[in-house]
Amino acid sequence: MIIWLPLVLLGLAILYQRKLREEWEFFTTRRREWIYDKWKNWGEPFLVAAVLALAIRTYLLGPYKIPTGSMRVTFLEGDRIFVDKITYRFHSPERGDIIVFKYPLDRKKDFVKRLAGLPGDTLEIREGKLIVNGKPLEEAPFSEHYYYNREDWDYAKAGQVIHVPLDSYFALGDNSAQSSDSRNWGFVPKKNLIGRAFCIWWPLNRIKFVD
């Protein structure tokens, strides 16, 4: 690549030598006009595109990378996902959503988990099943996963009934055996929510919408 680069540049210079001469003459004889022309044709569109991209990333749609296997097999390590940041401005999250949020113990970190407990819910993990408000969740995706009690963590020990505060959520990883989630560090405050993960966009063989 390094060897061919000078040859490519030389070829482009020969191909566009007339245009280059015209640009150089334009620059040396009418510098202010040249600068204005380049700003209108290149600088201004680039600035507008950059501002739009920043606004979309900040307020509408954000790309994230999955760092661990805590959400297997829904997400694999290295998957890149898009997160919808606007939906929750119009309605509350629903049980089963895959949420992205600021980690309660370190808001500089973003976590991806599945929403299991809504504000005001009672929740228990019993024999691998998730019991919400006294009833086992038999529907997918919860029926597809086995949830583990962790006696060395503060929440969801065997026989423990959890009461979700009215301003918070309870989140679990789909790969319960290898997930640090609300069983360990507690509840996700509403203010920590970023958005809802809805699709994988990379790698190419993994592109799909997710539930």
Q: Determine the pLDDT at residue 88.
A: 94
pLDDT at 131 > cutoff 60: yes
Phi first, then psi: give them for residue 18, nearest 5 degrees. Answer: -65, -45
Q: Determine the pLDDT at residue 46.
A: 67
Sequence-separated (6 or more) residues with CB below 8 Å from residue 11: none
CA separation for the pair 63, 201 (Å, rounded): 9
The better pLDDT of the pair 10, 173 is held by 173
* Catalytic-residue membership of 113: yes
Sequence-separated (6 or more) residues with CB below 8 Å from residue 73: 174, 175
Which residue is it, tokens 């061919």?
Answer: 4
Catalytic residue among 85, 113, 179, 182: 113
Share of the chain above pLDDT 90, in %: 70
Phi first, then psi: give them for residue 136, nearest 5 degrees. Answer: -70, 140
Domains of the chain, by residue range, sit at 4-59, 66-209
Model confidence pLDDT, tens digit, residues 99-110 = 999 999 999 999
Architecture field, domain 66-209: Ribbon (2.10)
* Catalytic-residue membership of 70: yes
Which residue is it, tokens 């026989």?
Answer: 159
When pLDDT is averaged across residues 169-187 and rounded to a whole number, the result is 97
pLDDT at 80 > cutoff 60: yes
Q: How confident is the model at residue 1 (pLDDT cuts 50, 70, 90)?
A: very low
pLDDT at 187 > cutoff 70: yes
When pLDDT is averaged across residues 67-79 and rounded to a whole number, the result is 96
Catalytic residue among 38, 40, 70, 190: 70
pLDDT at 49 > cutoff 60: no
pLDDT at 130 > cutoff 90: yes
pLDDT at 53 > cutoff 70: no
When pLDDT is averaged across residues 102-131 and rounded to a whole number, the result is 97
